[in-house]
Structure formats: C-alpha cells, structure tokens
A and B are shown apart, each in its own frame.
Chain A
Amino acid sequence: MRTLTLIITSLCIAFPVYALDTLIIQSHSTPQFDQTVRQIQNSCGSRSRTYVMGDYTEFDFGRIVREEQPRVVLALGDKPLQQAQKLRTTTLYAMALSANEKRLGENITGVTMFASPELYLKLFRKLSLKRVGVVYSTAKSGAYLDRALKAASEYNVQLVTTMVTSPDQTESALDRLMKQRIDALWMIPDTTAVTPGNLKAYFNLAKDEQIPLITFSRSYLDQGALAALEASRSRMTSQICSSLKQLQNEVSPSDLPITDITDATLFTNETVANRLGIPLSGVHQLFKANR
C-alpha cells in the first residue's frame, strides 16, 4: 500500500495533471486577433480556452493560469506577453510587436509578426538593391535585425542600420541613412521606428531621394512605397500550431527558437516602379504577387 502511494505520488510529481492543453489569452478583441484565435482553435486548439484581457477591468493573469493549469499558455499580443513573463509557465507568444526577444525567459518562445528576413533579402537581390537602409530599435526589432544581418551576406545585400530609441529620432536617423548613400529604404514593423507621427518622413525621403521604399503592408503603397511583403497569416497560424504541438509534447521552449513568418505575399506599385525606373519583371514569380 505504501509502495503504491509512493508510486502514485512520484508520478504526480513527475507528471503534473493538466486541465487544458492550451490557454489562449489575447490582449483585446480585434478582427485580426479574433480571426487568429479561431484559426488556432480550428487547427490545433481542441482542448483550449480563450480569455480576452480587454474584456476585464482587471485581469489577474497569474490566477487564471493557476486555475486553468494549461500545458501551454498562448499569449496573443503585447499585454499577455508582459504578464506571462512574470510566470514560469510554458508560454508561446504571437502577435506581439513590442516583444524584446533578448529579454524573454527560457519558458517563453514565440512567432514574430515579421516576415522572415530571407524573404526581404531575396526581394532586395531581385531588385538589385545593394545598400538597404533600415531604422530599428534594439528592444523591439534588435533580434530580428541580427537575423537579417546574419543572412544578408548570403544575398549579397548590405543592410545599413540605424538604431533609434524613440520615435522622434526616426527623422534624423533617416537623414543619417541617406548620408550613407543607401539605394533603398526598408521599413520594418518596429513600433518605435515607425509611428504615425514619423511615417511621412519615410515617404517623403523615398520620394525626395528617389529611392525605393520596401515595407511590410500594402497600405503604404498608395503613399509611395514601391513594394510590400505581407506576412502570411495562415502561415503564422500553422507555425503557432506547430510550436504549440511541440511544446505540448514537452519540448522545452528554450529548445524552440523564436521564429519569423516564413511565407509572405508581395505587393508592388508599378507607378512608383516606373517613376524610379525599377523593372518588376520576374519579381512576381518569386512570391505570390497580387499587384
């Protein structure tokens, strides 16, 4: 009897009982968040529960996690990620633009919102862009730029980077880039480097200096961007599900590197291309081009 009790106790200690496979906590309800949650639930969220932090006046993240005892917490958005960093629960984050990868705990891994740098580098090479300037902030896109810089040499592209720590430094950073004789400007979704207040600076610079601006959303094509690589949402979802499965299969988050979205759709503005004298032929075959 005692042996049996010991065995059972050991097993409980060794194998904790989980009520849920996945606890999904999204920061607030927007069409993008809700759609992502639906896709995750349909694809890989059989035993999952979803909370929306924005629906609560005060959301006690820790208590919810303790009570739900999930295998994995899926933190969608910056707020859940910030809260999850305080816990030791295995956490997968996504849709967080302000995540500082270098400061995340070993219990946290994730999928960024950036399209993989290789995709951009492939585009730059195709467009014969040699020196591409990019403004970034270390906290929000430092790790992404590291990956990009590491891969740039393979594509024969030189990334000219300028770091900013606040949005009002962006304009001067762009000026500095121009002085370094860049032949293209790369706008990444860094919420410090790119804000509503300094967006115009990017477009004005590109227009004034007659250099192509490569961005992350087709919304900016109407304002003068040459091309946009939109990261695939469905690929993001499938990457999330893949990571979730691995995590639920007891793979350690530290063994699971943070990944960028490996698929994107290319959008181009032919008018801008004609103005800049940049031919777009053959570019569309590289990506799922729609414009």
Chain B
Amino acid sequence: MVFSSLKRHIQRSLRTKLFFLVSLLIALITITFTTYFILHEITNLRSQQRREGLLLASVIASQINLPLFSGAREEIAMKVATLSHNQQTCSIKVSDVNGDLIVDIPRNLSESTCPEDQLIRQVLTDIPQSSPEAILLGENPSSRTFGTIELIMGTEESARSIRKIIYTTSLLAFGFWLLATGITLTFLQKITATFQILMTGVQRIEDGEFTPWIPVVKDDEPGRALAAINRLAKSLQKQTEEKEALQAEIVRGLHRQIDEEKNRNMAKLIQTNRMTSLGLLVSSMAHEINNPNGAIRLAAEILDRGWRDLRPVLDEVAGDIGEFKLCGLPYTDAIDDIEKAVDAIIRSSIRIEHVVSNLRSYSLGSRDKQVLPFNLNRVVENSIAIVRAHGKIENITIRTELLPELPDVYGNPFQLEQVVINLLLNAIQAMTLNNGSLIEIRTKLDQESGDPLLQIIDSGPGIAAESLAHIFEPFYSTRIEQGGSGLGLYIAKFIVTDQNGTLNIDNIAGGGCKAIVKMPATLENGKPNRTD
C-alpha cells in the first residue's frame, strides 16, 4: 500500500521523479567508483604485500650471501629471524645452491591467513655491478647463484586492512551519496520552483480563474512560459466574457422568441376562445336568426304563391289594357325581376337557414353529412353573389369562365359555397392594395381524370414560399394583426377533404395564385368516390 502510494506520488510529481532519478544515478556512480576503488586498493595491497615479500627476500639475500657461502646456519637463522621480526611471514626457508635446506622458520599463524598462492620464491644471485666492458662494449655481466629463499607472506594484516578500507570507503561513499542527494534536492527545489508556480497558474486556469497573477521574475524558459500562461489566462478571460455576453444575448433572443411565440399562441388561444365564444354566440344567434328567417321564408313563399296566382290575372290585364307599369318597370320587364326577386328571397332564406345550421353544427362539433348532387357553376354564382354583398371588391374584377356542360358533383353545396367564399376572400385580401386586380374563376373538366374542377386564379403577389407549406394549418395567418383568424383555408381544406375532394393552392409563375378544387363526380355505396 505504502509502496503503491509512493509509486503513484513519484509518477505524478516531476520534481520527485527527477530527484529519484538523480539520486539513483549518484548512487550508481558512487557504488561503481567505490567498488573500483576498493578493488584497486585490494590489488595494491596485495601487490604491496608481494613487493614487501620480495624486498624482504632481497634484503635477506643481501645479508646471507657470505654466511650461505660459508654454511653458517646459525648466523643465517639469526639474520633471517631478525630481518623478518616485524613482518607478517608465515614461513621462511633458505636453501643453498645444492638445494639443501639451511633454515626453516615457520610461524604460528593459521592456515587461512597463509595461502599457498602467497609463496615467494627467489633465487639468490650475485648482482654484479656494471663493468666497463658491459657499459662500453655491451658485454653481459655474469652472475652466480648461491641459493634460494622461499617465504610465504601472511594475509591477516592485509585482510584487516582490506576490511578497514571497505568499511571506511563504504561509509564515505554513503556520506557522499547523502550529501550529493541533499545538494541535488536543494537545486531541484530551486530549479523546479518556477515550474511549481507555472503548474499553480495552469491549475488556476483549469479551475476557471483567468485573472493573470503569476509574477514573472526571470527571462528564462520558465519565465517566458509563465508570461505565456498569463497571456493565455487573459485571453481566456476575455473569451469567457465574450462568451457570457453572447450567451446573455442568446438568452435575450430566446426570451424574445419565446415572448413572440407566447404572444402568437395567446393570439391563437384568444382566437380559439373567440371562436369558442363565437360558437356559443352563433348557437345563441342561430335561434335569433332562424326566427326572422323563417318568417322571411314563409312570407316569400306566400308571395311566390300569390304571384303565381296573380300572374295570369295580370297577363290578362296586360292583354286587355296593353303595357302597364309594375314596380316602376314595364310589365313585361317587371315579371322577370319580380320572379327573380321572390326566388332570391326564398333561396337566400334557405341559404341563411343552411349557413346558420352549418355554423351551429360546426360550433357544436358536428358535421352536416348531406351528400347532394350539385353543379359547381351554381356554387360559383352563389358565392360571387355573397362576396359582392360584402362590398370589398370595388377595384377588383371577377371574371368567370364556367363550362356550361359541367357535370354535377357530389357533396354539400352549401359547404362548398363556404369554401369558394373563403378562397375568394383570400384572393381579395391579397389584392386589397392593387387597383385593376383580376380574379378569374373557371370550371372545367380535369384532363386526366375527367372530374369537374374549379379554379380560382388571382393576380395578386402570390403566397410567400415559406408560408405556402403552412397555409392549410389552423390559425396560420399572415394577417393576425388585421383580425385574420387563420381558419379560412383550414376549414376550406377540411370541408373539401371531408367530401372526398381535393383542394390545392399554388403560386403561378409570373405572379398570382391558383386554387384548384376537385369534387367527386361519382358515388360508390352512397358515398362520393375520392378524387385524385
């Protein structure tokens, strides 16, 4: 556990890593040099011991030359003992030139301190001085052998010295390592101090504190890094401020959008509420309208019956007295007008009844499911009459091109009148500001299916491309501020689709808008076939 946490600490800290690496390096170097020194000293000690042995042998040789020649054993033994008194010798043997042992002086030293490899054997010879012949003519001087000496040097003293060297050197090496490591630590702390400041600064930036604060003392690499960190912090702070400002701006923009959306939704809710209220109003008004409307229809039917009865009488009078005025017009002209007027009153009353019924049904959520065969041309005419009655088409020309042999279609003619009226009102509203505007209404057969269709084409500016995909959505209107409900086209689309027809609106190249209504011309199982 301790080791793993230490290891983790080392890995995370550059200063610690460097310290350990340098300490390890110093330790390795110290150990290497210490080992080399110790081995070198051991070798020197051994060489020195051997040299001492050789020197002792030489000194003994120089002293026993004549006694050995004369065979004076006691003198030789005494000289050898005297000369080797203070030396660590295991044994000394002297032999004469014939190999006879003259002196053998063993010592009471243990075998372990008297290794055989420490044997020094030296042949005792006269070493002649350089003669004139040798110097001038290069002749080799002759030498004579007079004996041999064998001695074994003890290693106890040298072993003690070696141990002492090892202990002392190891202690010094350890002390050196400690000192070097301490110095290294001090230097590392100084060197990495700037680095620590740098890391603190980076840490602060990481934590989100961008206020430049690191004091730059020196113009070296760490100092320049610190200055760069300060500039980075300043830049980050500026970017953060800009980001916050941008975020605030975005939030304000979102708030504005939300407010606008809320307003639109509120407007839609208000409109819905208004429609709900309107529905309620319509329901309550239906009764108020149906009563006078019923009276009007009854009166109109009475007038119609009365006219039918009166017509023959008047015809006879006209035959008798000739042309006379009726309703301010000549009788022959007044006949048509009176019949048309009565018919218009009856039809309008019926229409009022249907409209109120439809409005009431719509506001109550029910649908008028009647499916009748009717002619689109008639629907067009009725719708135009109602629109003209609005009085908002003074500067607008409505031109009709109605196919006379247009076959009947199946559906609810009254609802379809509502559709045509909505389409006409949209077209009129689109051209409100333009004088000389034209609305063309055409009925014809679809070239592909042969089904009757109705086209309403205006010369207005057309529908904006971004609005075109939303025109059939409920409460979508470009004229909310002008009181638009956003329901006209939605209802029109609903009515047509509900009756298995199709309603498409598109812009015309060059300006204007075209609405095409197709209604089913055939029934299947009592229901109109769906058109394409």
Contact = CB atoms under 8 A, between A and B. Distances in A.
Are A and B genuine complex partners?
yes
Interface of A: 28, 30-33, 77, 95, 97, 113, 189-191, 194-197, 199-200, 216-217, 219-220
A196 B128 CA distance: 6
Scoring B129, B130, B135, B137 by chain A CB atoms within 10 A of each residue's CB, the highest score goes to: B137
B137 A95 contact: yes
A189 B138 contact: no
Contacts of A190: 132
Interface in B107-154: 128-133, 135-139, 141
A196 B136 contact: no
Contacts of B133: 97, 191
Contact of A32 (B130, B131, B138): B138
A191 B141 CA distance: 13
A219 B133 CA distance: 13
B53 to A, nearest CB: 25
Contact of A196 (B130, B137, B138): B130
Nearest to A28: B139
21 contacts: A30-B137, A32-B136, A32-B137, A33-B137, A33-B138, A95-B136, A97-B137, A113-B136, A189-B132, A191-B132, A191-B133, A194-B132, A196-B129, A196-B131, A197-B128, A199-B130, A217-B132, A217-B135, A217-B136, A219-B130, A219-B135
Enumerate the 4 nearest inter-chain pairs by beta-carbon distance, A residue then B residue, closest first: A30-B138, A196-B128, A189-B132, A199-B129
Nearest to B138: A30
Main secondary structure of the interface of B (DSSP, over half): loop
A200 B129 CA distance: 8
Contacts of A191: 131-133
A194 B137 contact: no
A93 to B, nearest CB: 13
Contacts of A28: 139
A48 to B, nearest CB: 21
A135 to B, nearest CB: 13
Contacts of B130: 196, 199, 217, 219-220
B66 to A, nearest CB: 14
A195 B131 CA distance: 6
A113 B135 CA distance: 11
A77 B136 contact: no
Interface residues of B, number: 12
A194 B135 CA distance: 12
Contacts of B128: 196-197
Contacts of B135: 189, 216-217, 219
B135 to A, nearest CB: 5
Contacts of B132: 97, 189-191, 194, 216-217
Contacts of A216: 132, 135-136
Contacts of A31: 138
A192 to B, nearest CB: 10
Interface of B: 128-133, 135-139, 141
A190 B132 CA distance: 7
Contact of A189 (B129, B136, B139, B141): B136
A97 B129 CA distance: 18
Scoring B130, B132, B138, B141 by chain A CB atoms within 10 A of each residue's CB, the highest score goes to: B132
Contacts of A200: 129
Contacts of B139: 28, 30
A22 B300 CA distance: 184
B131 A194 contact: yes
A177 B133 CA distance: 25
A28 B135 CA distance: 15
B136 A97 contact: yes
A220 B136 CA distance: 13
A241 to B, nearest CB: 20
Nearest to A35: B138
A33 B137 CA distance: 7
Contacts of A189: 132, 135-136
Contacts of B129: 196-197, 199-200
Contacts of A196: 128-131, 141
B137 A77 contact: yes
A195 B135 CA distance: 11
B209 to A, nearest CB: 82
Given A30-B138, A95-B137, A196-B141, 6 more contacts: A32-B136, A32-B137, A33-B137, A77-B137, A217-B132, A217-B135
A237 B141 CA distance: 25
Contacts of B131: 191, 194-196, 199
A228 B89 CA distance: 43
A141 to B, nearest CB: 11
A195 B129 CA distance: 8
A61 B136 CA distance: 24
Nearest to B141: A196
Contacts of B137: 30, 32-33, 77, 95, 97
A32 B135 CA distance: 9
A190 B131 CA distance: 10
Contacts of B138: 30-33
Contacts of A199: 129-131
A196 B129 CA distance: 5
A32 B130 CA distance: 15
A123 B78 CA distance: 49
Nearest to A95: B137
Nearest to A187: B132
Nearest to A220: B130
A151 B131 CA distance: 27
Contacts of A113: 136
B126 to A, nearest CB: 9
Nearest to A223: B129
A201 to B, nearest CB: 10
A216 B131 CA distance: 11
B143 to A, nearest CB: 10
B82 to A, nearest CB: 24
A105 B139 CA distance: 27
B131 to A, nearest CB: 5
A95 B133 CA distance: 10
Nearest to B132: A189
Contacts of A195: 131
Contacts of A33: 137-138
B325 to A, nearest CB: 177
A220 B130 CA distance: 9
Nearest to B128: A196
Contacts of A219: 130, 135
Contacts of A194: 131-132
A171 B137 CA distance: 24
A113 B132 CA distance: 10
A113 B136 CA distance: 8
Nearest to B131: A196
Contacts of B141: 196
A11 B520 CA distance: 172
Scoring B128, B129, B141 by chain A CB atoms within 10 A of each residue's CB, the highest score goes to: B129
B125 to A, nearest CB: 13
A42 B486 CA distance: 137
A47 B139 CA distance: 28
B137 to A, nearest CB: 6
A221 B128 CA distance: 17
A157 B138 CA distance: 32
A191 B137 CA distance: 12
Contacts of A220: 130
A137 to B, nearest CB: 12
A157 to B, nearest CB: 23
B128 to A, nearest CB: 4
